[in-house]
Amino acid sequence: MGSRRTTIATGSLLTASFSAVMIFSFSAGADDPGPMSGKGGKVIDEAPAGVKLTTSLPEKINVDNSSQETAITATVKNSGTKESGKIRLLVVGFDGLSVKSVEGCSEIAEKDLPEGSNSGYACAIDNLAAGKSKSYAADATYDLKKAGKICLPVQDTDGKKTFWQQGPVPFGANNPAPNAPATPLLLGTDNSPVTPGGDKAGDKTGGEDLPRTGPADQVLPLGAVGAALISAGAVGLWWTQRRPGLGGSES
């Protein structure tokens, strides 16, 4: 993956009164991700008056068929009329999609991940002005023999409220091309895995489903110590630990 420019934004994370869990950050992408979409996104808890937070993901990503590597840009935007105050963006991978690194960010410990997920990072944002957005570029891998999903919650700093959650929403292709240099995957499309020989492979992803906010709503189960992202009307909790400032690019 090419290197990406980042701007450092300071932010603090609240120490939870319960168990200590790492929290995180995110790298910002300078590369043009192409058309973006908020598909699979939904308001969970009401944001402060005048604040309207949403996220978006690329409509298409390309997975290198040799290395399984891909790049995903996650963007959070405040479309309201007032600044957001301190918030955080989480990026969590499921099934065949694993988030591997985000420059300037801290990885969530495996024991603290939401149930059913395989990887996760988060970004503390000191403030997002009205009409502004921040984009974060993540390096990831995608096992094309499986389906793969990604989830973007936007929360207050202690994780007691989830103002917006996109996903878990799938990236996939109905007709993967395992013998081509790269396979394009579309947001909101369930992957139809194939083996290198061209036969469809069973999607043995394991684990339980998470809270979806797309057409087929599901709930993201809690880990014993980790995060809970609950769909419509409930609260998403992420126990956290104080971390230093995090990176991101702002527009």
- The one-digit pLDDT tens for each residue of the chain (251 residues) are 444 433 333 333 333 322 223 323 333 333 567 899 999 999 999 999 999 999 999 999 999 999 999 999 999 999 999 999 999 899 999 999 999 987 767 888 888 788 899 999 988 899 999 999 998 999 999 999 999 999 999 999 888 999 999 999 999 998 777 788 999 999 999 998 865 554 454 433 333 333 455 433 443 433 322 333 433 222 333 333 333 333 456 66
What amino acid is encoded at 103 in this protein? E
**Fold of the CATH domain 13-241:** Immunoglobulin-like (2.60.40)
User: Rounded to whole angstroms, how far apart are CA atoms 29 and 72?
Assistant: 9
State the DSSP code for 89.
Answer: E
Terminal-residue alpha carbon distance, the chain: 23
User: Rounded to whole angstroms, how far apart are CA atoms 219 and 208?
Assistant: 10
User: Rounded to whole angstroms, how far apart are CA atoms 114 and 180?
Assistant: 34
- What phi, psi does 21 have (nearest 5°)? -135, 140
Q: List the helix and strand counts (H, then E) for the chain.
A: 0, 14
